[in-house]
Structure 1
Amino acid sequence: MTNAPQLSVVVPVFNEQDNVGPLLREVVAALRGRVEFEAVFVDDDSKDGTLAALQALKAEVPELRVLHHVHQSGQSTAIRSGVKAARAPWVATLDGDGQNDPADIPKLLEARTAAEPKIKLFAGWRVNRQDSGSKRWASKWANAIRSRMLRDDTPDTGCGIKLFERDAFLDLPYFNHMHRYLPALMQRAGWRTVSVPVNHRARSAGVSKYNNLNRALVGIRDLMGVAWLITRSKRTGVEER
Structure 2
Amino acid sequence: MTSTLTASKPHNPLLAVVITVFNESDNILPVCEELCTVLTDLPPAEVIIVDDGSTDTTQQKLLEAKVHLLPQLRIIVHPTRMGKSAALRSAIRAAHAPWIATMDGDGQDNPAFIQTMLAARHTYETTHGVKSPAPLIVGVRRKRRDSFSRRFATRLANTLRQHLLHDHCPDTGGPLKLFQRDLFLTLPHFEGLHRFLPALMQSYGAPLICIETQHRARLHGHSKYNNMNRALVGIFDLLGVLWLQKRTRPLPPLSER
* TM-score bracket for this pair, using the shorter chain length: over 0.9
Shift of 1:5: 1.3
Matching residue's letter, 2:186 = D
Distance in 2 (alpha carbons) for counterparts of 1:37 and 1:23: 16
1:191 to 184, 194, 206: 206
Matching residue's letter, 1:32 = T
- Mapping of 1:1-241 within 5 angstroms? 3-60=11-68, 61-116=70-125, 117-235=132-250, 237-238=252-253, 239-241=255-257
TM-score under structure 1 length normalisation: 0.96
CA deviations on 1:186-211 (whole Å, 9 max, x unpaired) are 01112211111111001120221001
Shift of 1:235: 3.6
DSSP 3-state at the match of 1:71: coil
Matching residue's letter, 1:179 = H
Distance in 1 (alpha carbons) for counterparts of 2:218 and 2:51: 19
Distance in 2 (alpha carbons) for counterparts of 1:234 and 1:37: 33
Shift of 1:33: 4.6
Query: 2:22–2:52: 8 Å Cα contact kept in structure 1?
Result: yes
Distance in 1 (alpha carbons) for counterparts of 2:251 and 2:53: 41
Distance in 2 (alpha carbons) for counterparts of 1:194 and 1:119: 11
Matching residue's letter, 1:106 = Q
DSSP 3-state at the match of 1:207: coil
Query: 1:122–1:194: 8 Å Cα contact kept in structure 2?
Result: yes
Unaligned ranges ≥5, structure 1: none
DSSP 3-state at the match of 1:17: coil
Query: 1:10–1:79: 8 Å Cα contact kept in structure 2?
Result: yes
Distance in 1 (alpha carbons) for counterparts of 2:28 and 2:161: 31
Query: 1:21–1:57: 8 Å Cα contact kept in structure 2?
Result: yes
CA deviations on 1:138-184 (whole Å, 9 max, x unpaired) are 11110000000000010100111100100011111110110000000
Query: 1:123–1:161: 8 Å Cα contact kept in structure 2?
Result: yes
Distance in 1 (alpha carbons) for counterparts of 2:170 and 2:194: 15
Shift of 1:87: 1.2
Shift of 1:31: 1.7
Query: 1:119–1:194: 8 Å Cα contact kept in structure 2?
Result: no
Using the aligned pairs only, state the percent identity: 47
Matching residue's letter, 1:140 = R
| Count, aligned residues | 241
DSSP 3-state at the match of 2:139: strand
Query: 1:31–1:106: 8 Å Cα contact kept in structure 2?
Result: no
Shift of 1:236: 5.2
Distance in 1 (alpha carbons) for counterparts of 2:221 and 2:232: 24
Distance in 2 (alpha carbons) for counterparts of 1:181 and 1:2: 30
